[in-house]
Structure formats: structure tokens, C-alpha cells
């Protein structure tokens, strides 16, 4: 439950601390006193956006603080664990927001968090119901959510949504294929085909790229190559004073020296090896020089081949490896484009199969909804009788429809407020007072199944009064047996049903307006009820009436208990 709410420098509020208790907490006060500021502060703590205009005039910041004491922290702990925070210690959860002109600081148990985290916590902490929220009851999506919450069909709904997500994913792929313009596709296929064909026809290879460049360089300089080769051969073996002749002369001398100095044998062998190496080098030079094809035909082929490599590198990649990889990628794209018809057929077959699974899961979900629809009708009808619709009747109608995000069912809440009236869709009811009471009856039914600990009603009793107001108050008190309720009300009949009564007032001191909140006791409470009955000029009669209203309400509560 919500234990404490602290507000500082928020609009008309200077510095207020409000303590709440279990059961029905009612908040009363004259119009404009600042009752809704309490709810507004709570909304800020649950993730509503804020701006600097909320800061009290003359101040630089405002802050709101809430302290929750929770018996079951499992849902909260799961969220905290998901964002890497420690679980609640002893069920204590503290949320704080500080808003300045340039920043917005939010903490949970003194750890910084985002507004999105506050919103997540809010969904399991507090159910807020404002003066216009009853209009959401007219929305068929909300009606379906109410039925599902009452029927506890989460497992069947999750199974359906899993299959439906697969259906939508496949349909998205089919739509993407069908969305493409055929002429654009043909142009794309033609463009990629030309690229792939040009590369494949060229028969490129990394090895040939290097060889062509090397041979082209040699042939382009063939005259110089031959001259240098011949010069090397002459120096080694054929010219006057060539290396071969000198080595041969050295060898003859060593042949004689070996007879005198045995160690000269090693020198003789090394000279012999050098002569052999010279001969091998000469043969290699002559062979390479003789192998050069410097014909115009060969040169033309090399020019053409070199141009091919250079052109394709300029168009499709800086290296042969890049060109070949691009060709592979484009060929894969071509296969995909040319196989679109086949892919479309495969997807359609897959869609037909998944559609059957969706319909099967949808029928299971529908069956569970149909099983609880009549029970929901009966429960809400019973609650409506308690709050003044003695002959009213509530109905839940389900009709099959095509698979959608919420299932294969269309829903319509029907309502007949009075005996002899035909059942009409709830959306056709003009009276906001009637719709408010239907919402209260619905909340009363769902409260028994709902694990949210705190329910907030901001003027849910709008447009009702008299005995109906008393019935609404008693119904709120009944719901408060399962949840902590915080209710802003203008009806004395509702206020009298509260187990905790907070009165909001405002005053002007030195030209500044201040909002104050007071916890009423048995002595001060009749005065507030009297004010609500008769306005500012309360008389002894209205005070007596207020006292009797409180006594009768307390007596009725004890009898009900």
C-alpha cells in the first residue's frame, strides 16, 4: 500500500506530507483547493512527464516522494532485477522525483532510473482512474482486455499471439515481394546480369593478374632485356678476358698446386663448382632471353588483357579478390530476384500452414472467453444492482472475426439500465453518470482478481448523488477490503464511507497561496461532511445531518462486515 506521499514546491503546494492507510482513503475539499494535485504528484511518481511550469512560483525546483509498503514484492522485484537493482528490503519501495528548470532526477530506493522504469513499476503498483477514464470502457479493445483479465486466459492468449506473430512475419515478407515494381525488378536483374556476365567472361584470376603485368613489362622492354642478357653472357663466357677463362686458368694452376700442397684440393673443388655455376647461369640467361615472345601478336594480347584487368578494377573493385567477391554477391542477388516467384509460392504455403495454427489457437482462446463471458455479465450485473440499477442488466456479446492482434473475436458490452428497456451497446449510453457506475462495477469485479495493491479513483462518483452516492460509497468500501483505495470525492455520502478522511484546503498568506492537507479525526470529520452537505455556511442542522450520516454509515459497515 501507499504509506506516505510528500510534495514540495509543486504548483500551489509549498510543503505537504500525506499519510495513507489501508482501506478506503477519501480526499475532500472545495473546488480549486488542490485535491487533484495529490493525484498529479502520484502520476509524476509513476512516470508521467513533467516540465518546469509545475515548479511553484519563485522556487527553482519541486520534488515528490512516495513510500510504499508491499506484502508481495514479486512483481516489483522482477522489474528491479531486470534493470539490475536490488529487490525491495522488507517490502519497502521508495520513489522520488526532483524537477528543476533544466533537469529531472528520478530514483527508486535511492538508485537512478528512467521514466520508462517508473511506468513499468506503475503498471503493477497503482491503478489510476481519472474523471474521464470511464470513457475507455466504451472502447472495444478495453472491453476485450477486461474480459481476458476476468477470465485469466493469459496462457491461451500468449499461445495465440505467438502463432499470430509468425503469421504477420510471413505476411510481411509476402507483402514486400508483392510491393516491388516488376519493371524495376527487370531492370535490376538486367543490370546485375550484365555485371556478373562481364566478370565471368573475363575469367579473372589473381595469379594471371600478376603474370600479365610482369610479362607486359618485360616485352615492353625486350630490346633492353636482350642487350643486358647478351652483355652478361659475354662477361661470363664469351668475351675476351671473360670470367670462365679466368676460372679455367685458376683451375689449371691449382691442379699443379695440389701436387705440392694437399690442402689446395679444397680450393680446386670450389673453383670447379664456380665454373659449373657460371655455366648454369649462362644457360638460364640464354634460355630466358630466347623464350621472350616479343611478337606484335603477343604484345597485343597482353595489352588487351592488361586493359581488361584495369577496366574491371576501375568498375567493380580495386583488386581481383574484390571483383570476384562482388560477382559472387551479385550472383546471389540474381538468384534471389529470379527466384521470387518460387519464394512467393513457398511463403504462401507456409502462410496457409501457420494460418491453420492461428485459427486453432484462436478457437481455443474463443472457447475460454465464451466460458467466462456469461459469468462476467452476471458478476457486473450484481454489482450494478448494489449501486442503484435494481433492474439493470449487463451483457457481454462475442462475435467471431478474422484473426487480429487480440484474437478472433469482436466484443460488445451491452447494458439495459432499467426494466423494460432493450439491451443497447454501452457506447450508446449518453449518461456519463451511468457509465461511471458501470466502470465502478467493473472495477469491483476485477478487484478480486487483480494483484495491483493500490486503486486510485479521481471523482469516479461524478454526476451521481443522493442515495446512489451512498451506494457508490458502500461499493468503494467493499472494493477496499481487497485493495487500498484512494478516492477524491465531492459527495458526502461517499466521504462518509471512508476509513481514512483527508481534507484539502488552501489559504493566502502574505499574498501567496498555500495548499494544506489535514487528517480528520472523529471530532473534525463531521464539520467537513457538514461543509459538503451545506457549503461554507454550515448550520447545526447540517452538522447534525453529517453526524447522523457518519453514524449510519459506520453502523452499516459493521453490519456488512
Reported as a single tens digit per residue, the pLDDT across 497-554 is: 999 999 998 888 887 888 889 999 988 899 888 888 876 556 678 888 888 888 887 7
Q: E strand or H helix at 322, and its extent?
A: helix 320-338
Q: Give the tens place of pLDDT for each residue, 171-217.
A: 998 887 776 666 777 788 888 999 999 999 999 998 988 887 877 76
Give the per-residue pLDDT at 306.
87
- Does the structure show a pLDDT above 80 at 127? yes
The whole-number average pLDDT for the span 377-384 is: 92
C-alpha cell at 435: 457509465
Give the per-residue pLDDT at 134.
64
Using a pLDDT cut of 90, give the percent of the chain over it: 34
Say if strands 407-416 and 393-404 run parallel, antiparallel, or are unpaired: antiparallel
Please provide the average confidence, as pLDDT, over all residues in the chain: 84
Q: Which of 388-404 are b and which e, b meaning 16 or more Cβ less than 10 Å from the residue's Cβ?
A: bbeebbbbbebeeeebe
Give the per-residue pLDDT at 286.
64
DSSP for 361-395, written as a single string = HHHHHHHHHHHHHHHHHHHHHHHHHHTT-TT-EEE
- Does the structure show a pLDDT above 60 at 252? yes
Give the per-residue pLDDT at 379.
92
Give the per-residue pLDDT at 19.
93
Q: Determine what percent of the chain falls in helix, strand and coil, rounding each to the nearest 5.
A: 60, 20, 20
Q: Which of 496-526 are b and which e, b meaning 16 or more Cβ less than 10 Å from the residue's Cβ?
A: bbbebbbbbbeeeeeeebbbbbeebeeeebb
Q: E strand or H helix at 356, and its extent?
A: helix 340-386
The whole-number average pLDDT for the span 405-433 is: 82
Give the per-residue pLDDT at 502.
93
Q: Give the tens place of pLDDT for each residue, 324-347.
A: 999 999 998 888 777 777 788 889
- Does the structure show a pLDDT above 60 at 223? no
C-alpha cell at 184: 524495376
Give CA separation, 547 vs 291, 474, 542, in Å. Answer: 125, 17, 9
- Does the structure show a pLDDT above 80 at 429? no
Q: Give the tens place of pLDDT for each residue, 463-482.
A: 666 678 888 888 898 888 88
The whole-number average pLDDT for the span 37-44 is: 89
Give the per-residue pLDDT at 13.
86
What sign results for the dihedral spanned by CA atoms 350, 355, 360, 364? positive
Write down all domains in the chain, each with its CATH number in brackets. Answer: 1-131+453-520 (3.40.50.300), 184-338 (no CATH)
pLDDT: which is higher, 420 or 346: 346
Give the per-residue pLDDT at 363.
96
DSSP lists the bridge partners of residue 516 as: 505
The whole-number average pLDDT for the span 359-382 is: 94
Residue holding cell 601478336?
Answer: 297
- Does the structure show a pLDDT above 70 at 75? yes
Give the per-residue pLDDT at 381.
92
Among 306, 285, 408, smallest CA distance to 355 is for 408
pTM of the model: 0.65
- Does the structure show a pLDDT above 60 at 291? no
Q: Which of the four pLDDT bands, split at 50, 70 and 90, describes residue 558?
A: low
Neighbours of 386 (CB within 10 A): 17
Using a pLDDT cut of 70, give the percent of the chain over it: 89
The whole-number average pLDDT for the span 120-128 is: 87
Amino acid at each position: 500500500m501507499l504509506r506516505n506521499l510528500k510534495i514540495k514546491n509543486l504548483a500551489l503546494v509549498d510543503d505537504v506530507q500525506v499519510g495513507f492507510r489501508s482501506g478506503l482513503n477519501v480526499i475532500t475539499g472545495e473546488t480549486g483547493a488542490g485535491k487533484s494535485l495529490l493525484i498529479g504528484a502520484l502520476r509524476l511518481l509513476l512516470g508521467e512527464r513533467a516540465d518546469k511550469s509545475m515548479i511553484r512560483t519563485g522556487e527553482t525546483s519541486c520534488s515528490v516522494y512516495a513510500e510504499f509498503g508491499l506484502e508481495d514484492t514479486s512483481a516489483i522485484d522482477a522489474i528491479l532485477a531486470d534493470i539490475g537493482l536490488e529487490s525491495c528490503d522488507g517490502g519497502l519501495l521508495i520513489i522520488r522525483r526532483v524537477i528543476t528548470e533544466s533537469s529531472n532526477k528520478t530514483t527508486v530506493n535511492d538508485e537512478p532510473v528512467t521514466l520508462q522504469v517508473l511506468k513499468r513499476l506503475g503498471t503493477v503498483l497503482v491503478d489510476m482512474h481519472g474523471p474521464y477514464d470511464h470513457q475507455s470502457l466504451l472502447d472495444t479493445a478495453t472491453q476485450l482486455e477486461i474480459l481476458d483479465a476476468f477470465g485469466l486466459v493469459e496462457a491461451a492468449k500468449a499461445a495465440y499471439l505467438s502463432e499470430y506473430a509468425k503469421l504477420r512475419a510471413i505476411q510481411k515478407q509476402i507483402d514486400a515481394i508483392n510491393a516491388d515494381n516488376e519493371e524495376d525488378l527487370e531492370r535490376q536483374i538486367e543490370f546485375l546480369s550484365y555485371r556478373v556476365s562481364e566478370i565471368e567472361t573475363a575469367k579473372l584470376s589473381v595469379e594471371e593478374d600478376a603474370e600479365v603485368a610482369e610479362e607486359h613489362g618485360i616485352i615492353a622492354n625486350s630490346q633492353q632485356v636482350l642487350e643486358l642478357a647478351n652483355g652478361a653472357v659475354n662477361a661470363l663466357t664469351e668475351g675476351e678476358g671473360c670470367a670462365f677463362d679466368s676460372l679455367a686458368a685458376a683451375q689449371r694452376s691449382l691442379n699443379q698446386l695440389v701436387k705440392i700442397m694437399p690442402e689446395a684440393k679444397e680450393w680446386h673443388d670450389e673453383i670447379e663448382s664456380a665454373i659449373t655455376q657460371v655455366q648454369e647461369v649462362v644457360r638460364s640467361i640464354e634460355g630466358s632471353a630466347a623464350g621472350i615472345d616479343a611478337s606484335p601478336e603477343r604484345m597485343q594480347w597482353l595489352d588487351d588483357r592488361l586493359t581488361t584487368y584495369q577496366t574491371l578494377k576501375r568498375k567493380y573493385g580495386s583488386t581481383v579478390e574484390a571483383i570476384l567477391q562482388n560477382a559472387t554477391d551479385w550472383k546471389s542477388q540474381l538468384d534471389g530476384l529470379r527466384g521470387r516467384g518460387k519464394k512467393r509460392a513457398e511463403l504462401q504455403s507456409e502462410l496457409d500452414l501457420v494460418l491453420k495454427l492461428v485459427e486453432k489457437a484462436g478457437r481455443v482462446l474463443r472457447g475460454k472467453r465464451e466460458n467466462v463471458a456469461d459469468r462476467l455479465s452476471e458478476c457486473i450485473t450484481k454489482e450494478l444492482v448494489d449501486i442503484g440499477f435494481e433492474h439493470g442488466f449487463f451483457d457481454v456479446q462475442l462475435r467471431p472475426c478474422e484473426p487480429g492482434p487480440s484474437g478472433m473475436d469482436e466484443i460488445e458490452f451491452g447494458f439495459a439500465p432499467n426494466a423494460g428497456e432493450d439491451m443497447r451497446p454501452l457506447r450508446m449510453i449518453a449518461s456519463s453518470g451511468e457509465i461511471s457506475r458501470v466502470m465502478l462495477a467493473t472495477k469491483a469485479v476485477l478487484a478480486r482478481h487483480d494483484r495491483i495493491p493500490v486503486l486510485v479513483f479521481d471523482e469516479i462518483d461524478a454526476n451521481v448523488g443522493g442515495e446512489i452516492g451512498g451506494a457508490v460509497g458502500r461499493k468503494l468500501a467493499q472494493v477496499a477490503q481487497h485493495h487500498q483505495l484512494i478516492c477524491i470525492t465531492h459527495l458526502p455520502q461517499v466521504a462518509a464511507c471512508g476509513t481514512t478522511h483527508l481534507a484539502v484546503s488552501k489559504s493566502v498568506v502574505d499574498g501567496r497561496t498555500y495548499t494544506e492537507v489535514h487528517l480528520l479525526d472523529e471530532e473534525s470529520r463531521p464539520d467537513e461532511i457538514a461543509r459538503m452537505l451545506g457549503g461554507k455556511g454550515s448550520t447545526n442542522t447540517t452538522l447534525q445531518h453529517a453526524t447522523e450520516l457518519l453514524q449510519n454509515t459506520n453502523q452499516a459497515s459493521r453490519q456488512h462486515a
